[in-house]
Amino acid sequence: MAEIFNFILVNPIINILIAIYKTLLILHIPYPLGFSIIVLTVVIRLILYPLTHSQLKASKKMQELSPHLSNLKDKHKGDAKKLQAETMRLYKEHGVNPAAGCVPLIIQIPIIWGLYSVLNKVVAVGSVNVISDINKVVYFDFLKLAGKWDTFFFGIPLGQNPSHLFQAMPLILLVPVLTAVFQFMQSKMMMPAKDKVKNIVPDKKDSAKAGQVKKKDDFASVFQSQSLYIFPLMIGFFSYNFPIGLSLYWNTFSVFGIIQQYQISGWGGLKDIWTRRKK
């Protein structure tokens, strides 16, 4: 299974990365390995762009229907069959497919994991054995590495962890901090702004009951609220203990995701933070 995964995903990604690296060397671009990781990440994001776009649009539609779904749960409490029928009718009415956001994500996961596996191997190429292993899977002889390559990016060793460099380079702590901040921004932007939620009227067919609908935090909403803070902290912690090269990939991935999210839904829930500060 591992060999098939490497053949289909890992090896092609390694070849693309080496090709980018060799091109940057020819162009005399400084810190070619670091910039190769950035360019490769952007290329992968561009390939995944249509899938991610579809996933984000489906997620936005589901969020817009959230008040309507809450109203249906309150209206048909105790009647699971009726609730299911009305929910499907609501989805059909608004042209929403609940599975539309899952399929693109499932397709993306192997690609992202393949990219992660490549970078995890690449940033450790201080070893001749690792370079030999990489040369075994490149498709063309001109792509083979003649020797050790420079694993530094603006003076920072891509194969080292911030936890190991902290005493000698205290500012290296900015790497996991920025990783957590970018992740938080992206997660917050995926949530609808409060003013937009207020403008959504649940169900006008039964206004008397609609006015009595209470805001209830079910398991999903509580999990979403907690993960908004927990997940970025987890990613920041991993970034603190993982090689800098992986953080470079993840931050590039996140910044691209923030740009794409902004194209679909603007600043989303991130706008609430700025509004709160103005008050």
Confidence (pLDDT) at 67: 78
pLDDT tens column, 235-269: 999 999 988 988 999 999 899 989 988 988 888 88
Beta carbons of 111 and 46 less than 8 angstroms apart? no
10 Å Cβ neighbour count for 110?
12
10 Å Cβ neighbour count for 277?
7
Q: What is the pTM of this model?
A: 0.78
Residues contacting residue 41 through CB under 8 Å, at least 6 positions apart: 115, 249, 252, 253, 256
Q: How far apart are CA 274 and CA 209, in angstroms?
A: 34
Confidence (pLDDT) at 101: 61
Hunting for tokens 């779904």 — which residue is that? 69
Q: How far apart are CA 238 and CA 253, in angstroms?
A: 15
Residue 219 backbone class (left: φ over 0; alpha: ψ -120 to 50; beta: rest): alpha
Confidence (pLDDT) at 217: 45
Q: How far apart are CA 192 and CA 272, in angstroms?
A: 9
CA distances from 32 to 28, 90, 145 (A): 8, 52, 13
Q: How far apart are CA 76 and CA 69, in angstroms?
A: 11
Buried b (16+ CB within 10 A) or exposed e, 65-101: bebbbbbbebbbeeeeeebeebbeebbeeeeeeeebb
How many Å is the Cα radius of gyration of the chain?
23
Q: What is the pLDDT along the chain (279 residues), one digit of tens a residue?
A: 778 888 888 899 899 999 999 999 999 999 999 999 999 999 988 988 888 887 788 777 777 777 787 788 788 777 788 888 888 888 888 777 776 666 666 777 787 788 788 887 777 655 556 778 888 889 999 988 887 788 889 989 888 899 999 988 999 999 999 999 999 998 888 877 665 555 544 444 444 444 444 444 455 566 667 778 898 999 999 999 988 988 999 999 899 989 988 988 888 888 777 666 655
SS3 100: coil
pLDDT tens column, 207-238: 444 444 444 445 556 666 777 889 899 999 99
Q: How far apart are CA 221 and CA 270, in angstroms?
A: 17
Confidence (pLDDT) at 206: 45
